[in-house]
Amino acid sequence: MEPDLFTAAAEDRQEKEPSSSPLAVRMRPRTLDEVVGQRHLLKPGSPLRRLVGEGSGGPAGPSSVILWGPPGIGKTTLAYVVSQATNKRFVELSAITAGVKEVRAVIDGARRASGGYGKETVLFLDEIHRFSKAQQDSLLPAVENRWVTLVAATTENPYFSIISPLLSRSLLLTLEPLTDDDLRGLLHRALTDERGLGGAVTLPADSEAHLLRIAGGDARRALTALEAGAGSAIANGEGEISLETLQDAVNQAAVKYDRDGDQHYDVASALIKSIRGSDVDAALHYLARMIEAGEDPRFIARRLMISASEDVGLADPGALQTTVAAAQAVAMIGFPEARIILGQATVALALAPKSNAAYLAIDAALADVRAGLAGPVPPHLRDGHYKGAQKLGHGQGYLYPHDLPGGIAAQQYAPDAVHGKRYYEPTRYGAEARYADVVERVRARLRGEQPAPAGEGT
């Protein structure tokens, strides 16, 4: 494609969006000041401000920017603002449909435009994580030589999905999830702005709350649902978008769930208790209610990690690993795909053998410490490596377990105040049955009541 065609495309986007365009398109910000959320990226003198030419007296803007964040929070919007707020040529590619050939064509056009027309080029590359290593390599010369200003967007962790050479030459900007207040302001603007609904309908509080829930922090989803509800209300001759009209329009019932009230804690409690009770179907029901109501997936993941230790424990030591991996994946991916990961972790916990022995053990130990049952560390366990320690008797008489058969030394480890206390009482469920056998043998050897067979460990 020739440079003048690219320029024409950029100019077309600067024209007023037609009324037939979707609401989310019509309400797309035209300046950085209209962008919803992301205040940490929009401060005066920030890289994005410099990229659009604000604060021109300072250092030049970055040559390459990577925008990382979940869907619907403004990555593409920021790129369009750049295209409208600068005099640079703006070219948009999607890694889903473009390849090396298209990238090279853009770079060649950028070099011609720079030399022949004196115009710099901004290349917006959406879904860059979908590019292979070779495809990402093709961007390096253009970024290195500033033939283009690259603005790339990704929903996946760039440290895993983008090659190191490109990452090191780019400024990574992490976009934060939109808050309910961010989306509320956007909805109010869309209701009254002439680019939006122009005051044709109003939005009652209960309908607004439902919109915020189903949006799940996604601005595009919020505006799409608002448009559907408004269209139904206007077609029915109604001046407001009632909750019933909105539910019919978006085909999504309003879930009774207050993220800041009793429902938040009641449903979360029911989820954990259903897991503890091994009712996998009930657990999935409560998980679905939390997801559908727009609960923060990180909150759900944290509750599952706690359950893995509190309710499953050593009956299935892999449960904690499963939930930690789920939490990491959820943080990288976000909704809607995060529902699959949370569902897998919930099923694994609900069907796992259960034990709260480790949970009870640490609480029992803490109770004794808080009751004053501490006492000095036995002298043979104290640090004996500093000058004068031997004169104090520190470390003397310590038996090194690795030098003994079975790796167990019959000596006192606990302070006198709690010597002989049994905090950990393992169950016979799942993998913990092995621990139950081991702990009794170890305790007997520590007391010197059972010699270790030669060559045998614990």
Q: What is the pLDDT along the chain (458 residues), one digit of tens a residue?
A: 343 433 434 444 444 555 668 888 888 887 777 888 888 888 877 777 777 666 554 445 556 889 888 777 778 888 777 767 666 778 888 888 888 888 888 888 888 877 656 677 888 888 899 888 888 988 888 888 888 888 899 988 888 889 999 998 888 888 887 888 889 999 999 999 988 899 999 999 988 888 887 787 788 888 888 988 898 899 888 889 998 888 888 765 545 454 444 466 778 888 999 999 888 888 999 898 888 777 788 889 999 999 999 999 988 999 999 999 999 998 887 778 889 999 999 999 998 999 998 899 888 888 888 888 877 777 777 775 666 666 666 767 777 777 777 777 777 777 878 887 888 888 888 878 888 878 888 888 777 776 555 445 55
Q: Where are the domains of the chain?
A: 3-174, 180-250, 262-351, 366-446
Class in CATH terms, 180-250: mainly alpha
Domain range 366-446, CATH architecture: Orthogonal Bundle (1.10)
All residues at 6 or more sequence positions from 265 whose CB lies less than 8 Å from its CB, including other chains: none
- The beta-carbon contacts of 49-57 under 8 Å, at least 24 apart in sequence, are 51/82, 51/86, 51/149, 51/151, 52/81, 52/82, 52/85, 52/86, 53/85, 53/86, 53/87
Among the listed residues 247, 232, 224, 223, the one whose alpha carbon sits nearest the alpha carbon of residue 201: 232
| DSSP, res 376 | P
Report d(CA 362, CA 369) in Å as an integer: 11
CATH of 3-174, one of 3.40.50.720, 3.40.630.10, 3.40.50.300, 1.10.1040.10: 3.40.50.300
Report d(CA 349, CA 320) in Å as an integer: 9
Report d(CA 207, CA 122) in Å as an integer: 40
Q: Which SS3 state, helix, strand or coil, does residue 212 take?
A: helix
Stated pTM of the model: 0.51
Report d(CA 120, CA 53) in Å as an integer: 12
Q: What's the topology of domain 262-351? A: Zinc Finger, Delta Prime; domain 3 (1.20.272)
How many CB atoms within 10 Å of residue 231? 16
**Backbone CA torsion sign across 164, 170, 171, 174:** negative
How many CB atoms within 10 Å of residue 174? 12
Strands 89-94 and 64-68: unpaired
Report d(CA 113, CA 386) in Å as an integer: 71
**Backbone CA torsion sign across 193, 198, 203, 207:** negative
Among the listed residues 54, 52, 30, 32, the one whose alpha carbon sits nearest the alpha carbon of residue 41: 32
Report d(CA 51, CA 60) in Å as an integer: 8
Question: How far apart, in Å, are the Cα atoms of 272 and each of 119, 155, 302, 414?
Answer: 59, 30, 11, 35
Among the listed residues 165, 158, 93, 99, the one whose alpha carbon sits nearest the alpha carbon of residue 123: 93
